[in-house]
Every structure is written in structure tokens, then in C-alpha cells.
Amino acid sequence: MAMVDQNEILFERAQKTIPGGVNSPVRAFRQVGGTPRFVTKAKGPYFWDANNKRYIDLIMSWGPMIVGHANPEVIEAVQKAAETSFSYGAPTEGEIELAERICAVMPSVEQVRMVSSGTEATMSALRLARGYTGRDLIIKFEGCYHGHADSLLVKAGSGLLTFADSTQNAPSSGGVPQDLVKHTLVLPYNDVAAIEEVFKKQGDQIAAVILEPIAGNMNLIKPSKEFLSAIRNLTSKHGSVLIYDEVMTGFRVALGGAQSLQGITPDLTCLGKVMGGGMPMAAFGGKKEIMSKLAPLGSVYQAGTLSGNPVAVAAGLKSLEIISRDGFYECLGGQTQKLMTGLKQAADKANIPFSVDSEGGMFGFYFTSQIPTSYEAVTKSDVEAFKKFFHLMLDEGVYLAPSAYEAGFTSIAHDNEVVNAIIAAAENSFKKL
């Protein structure tokens, strides 16, 4: 007698009251096909679905769970905070401690404002940049996703790569007015000539340049040194604000974020994911001169009922404490590199065009012989091969991002046993492709 698939039952039920059956589009499995896995519990590097099948998790809540699911130390901190109430709507000492910790490990951040999501952080940072400069134009790059604020949904990455109309200069989401899009210039990632040309023509109109310092929403794409240097030099020369969107890379690729690896000092930085330890928590911060334009000191308004939520702050503080311990990133990065090497060797053995890349606990793999360096290159990878590989790995008990356009994530709980199990699953899967 065939087992009833509880995931299918839950998905059918969810679609009656939740649009598409999910609360974030990529979870719907639309690109890869099939039925989403409904999670019942998670521990360390694993989660279990509604059929009680265990999976090795390689998205880790899309990045936040860097210390592993249900980490005992984080749970203890959250429980202790929850005993004194979930929310106050008033300041707490914990907020100060978290702000001090962020400023200590990211020298470019002199002051920081806490919010509840990455979208809120990037949206607020752009408003602040416009208020500070008195200009309207912003520059973003093809394939980079900075949340779902209207002015940023232009050639965006992440789930938008799956769903967007690629019409040149069009919004990549319905409901976004063309009048908003006209204030956003979209340039190719890693294209130095393009950024130089735009600043030459419109430098005095550009309020800000926002970028993912390591793109993770068109799979993992690293910037060239020349690209980063050009952006920093041009924004400084023309008085524009350089915004590093480190919602994904912050505390994930290194304790000091991608900026600490690249030697770049941005004017503003957006953070999220890891800094909340899995709780809804994000922030934006930077130069005191710019941050002082925020209300209540300045004219740029930003507010939030749950900003600096005490339970989320407790989870974030404990997570930052754990990742600050000696050897944490050496171990995390080493295990991720071991995983990538194993996947590459397995693909080569099966004669499948395949390339890999990683930084810290963040990785990308591509069904193409060369590591992509742009949005255009990513879209030329073999998506059909990825779809087949995704489902073969799912059968093997390994949960990958359900899209060829997403980076993957490991945690400190992904030890040798777990990494070896993933590589073994990949070897079996590549043989069947």
C-alpha cells in the first residue's frame, strides 16, 4: 500500500488560504517542479518533513542558521528573554549591546539602526541616502536582489529570476509604477566600463550605488577587484553613497562581512539573517554623519513597532558570540570548501560540465564548465540539468535550494560525516543524470 504523502496534503490545503501555498515564492518549487517539503522540526544540519523524512539542509533558512538549527545556547538565550515578555516597544540594554557588537566587528559602521527584515533595511538605507544627498537616482546591478521595495524590483535576482519578464528597463514585478523605476539605473554586475560611463554622464544626480558585495541571489557570483575599486572611487568622487547589502554575506562569509575580505569601506551597510540568529531581525548602519539624518535627529523618517525586539536581540547576541569564537570561520570555510571539492570531483567523474565556488559558509555550484561572473552568464547554465539533480538529491535526503539562481549555505554543524554524506549522495545523483 502506497504511503500517503503528507507534504502533498499540506500543500493542497495551504493553497486554499495562502497564495500559491507559500509565504515566499521560491518555496513553491515552481522552477524545479514537484511538491514543497513542509518542515516539522530541525536540529543541527538536518530537518524533517511532514513524512518524517530527514534531510541534510543546505539552505539553513537561506543563511541565518550558521550555528546550526536549534542550537542549545541560542535556545537558552531566547527562552530567558521570552520569560520577561516578547516585546516592549521601548528601548532595552540588549539593543545597545548588539549595536556595540556590530560596530566593533564592522569598523565602517559607526552607528546602526535595527529593523525587522532585510527589505526594511535596504529600503531605509536608500531613503537615507537620498535624504543625505538630496538626489533621486540609484544604481543597482543585474541579478542582485535587495528585497521587495518597489524601486528595487528592476531586473532583480532571487525568485524574480524565475518569475520576471525580462523586458529591458521594465519592473520585474507587477504593481510597480514605471515612475518609480525611472529613478533606478540597472547595470551589469562586474562591468567596470558601464559604471564609469554612467557616472561620467550622471554622476551629480546619483544618490547611491547599492550592491551585493558577493551576489547570492543569481547563485553565488563574486565581484572583481577592479569592479569594487571603480565603484568605491566613483561614489567618493561624485558624493554618492555606497551601500553594501550584506544581509546575506554579513557574518556569513567572515565575521566582518564581505567588506572585511575585500578591503572596501562602504558608507552604509545593510545586515540581516545571521545577525538575528533565525529571528526576524535586520539593521542598517554606517557613517555617523549619514546616520544622524535619521529621525529623531534628522528629517529622514524610519520607525518600527518590533525594531530591536528583545527576543530577536537575544538570539542575535548569542549567535554573534558563538561565531566570534576562535577557529569558527576557519572550520566553517574549510568544511564548505571540502564540500565543493567533493561535488566537483563527483561531477568530473561523471563527465558532467560543472563548476563550484564558495566563501566562508556560502557556496554556489553551476551546471557549466566555467564559474559565472555575471547575470547573463548565470542564465546560460544548464537549468534542466539542475532540476534533475535537485530531485535526485532530494531523493537521497539532501535539500538544496529549489532554484538554480540561489546560493547555498552550510553551518558549523555540517561536520565531516555530514559533508561526506552529501558528496556520496551527489556521486549517486550524477551517475543518474
Averaged pLDDT, 348-362: 98
39: pLDDT strictly greater than 70: yes
**Cα 405 from chain centroid (whole Å):** 12
Task: Read off the pLDDT of residues 311-343 as tens digits, 9 standing for 90 and up.
Answer: 999 999 999 999 999 999 999 999 999 999 999
Residue range 136-146, pLDDT digits in tens:
999 999 989 89
**Model confidence band, residue 165 (pLDDT cutoffs 50, 70, 90):** very low
Would you state the pLDDT for residue 178?
A: 77
- CA distances for 427 relative to 345, 361, 368, 371, angstroms: 9, 22, 17, 21
Give the model's pLDDT for residue 160. 55
Q: What is the pLDDT of residue 374?
A: 92
Residue 161: pLDDT band by 50, 70, 90 thresholds?
A: low
**Domain layout of the chain by residue ranges:** 6-70+326-432, 72-323
- Residues 204-225: tens digit of each pLDDT: 999 999 999 999 999 999 999 9
145 is annotated as an active-site residue = yes
Confidence of residue 170 (pLDDT cuts 50, 70, 90): low
Q: Which fold has domain 72-323?
A: Aspartate Aminotransferase; domain 2 (3.40.640)
Instruction: Report, at the CATH architecture level, how domain 6-70+326-432 is classified.
Output: Alpha-Beta Complex (3.90)
Residue 291 CA to residue 305 CA, distance in Å, equals 20
Residues 277, 287: Cα–Cα separation, whole Å: 25
Give tens-digit pLDDT for 52-67. Answer: 999 999 999 999 999 9
pTM: 0.95
Share of the chain above pLDDT 70, in %: 96
88 counts as catalytic = no
Place 171 in a pLDDT band, splitting at 50, 70 and 90. confident
Annotation says 57 is catalytic: no
Is pLDDT of 117 > 70? Answer: yes
| Higher-confidence position of 390 and 159 | 390
Residue 154 has pLDDT above 90, yes or no: no
State the chain's mean pLDDT as an integer: 94
Q: Evaluate if residue 163 carries a pLDDT over 80.
A: no
Tell me the three cell numbers of residue 264.
572596501
| pLDDT tens string 374-420 | 999 999 999 999 999 999 999 999 999 999 999 999 999 999 999 99
The pLDDT confidence band at residue 164, using thresholds 50, 70 and 90, is very low
Catalytic residue among 55, 145, 399, 405: 145
Give the pLDDT confidence score for residue 155 in this predicted structure. 58
Helix 416-432 with 328-349: angle, nearest 10 deg: 20
Confidence label for 181 from pLDDT (cuts 50, 70 and 90): confident
What's the whole-number mean pLDDT along residues 293-322?
97
pLDDT of residue 3: 81
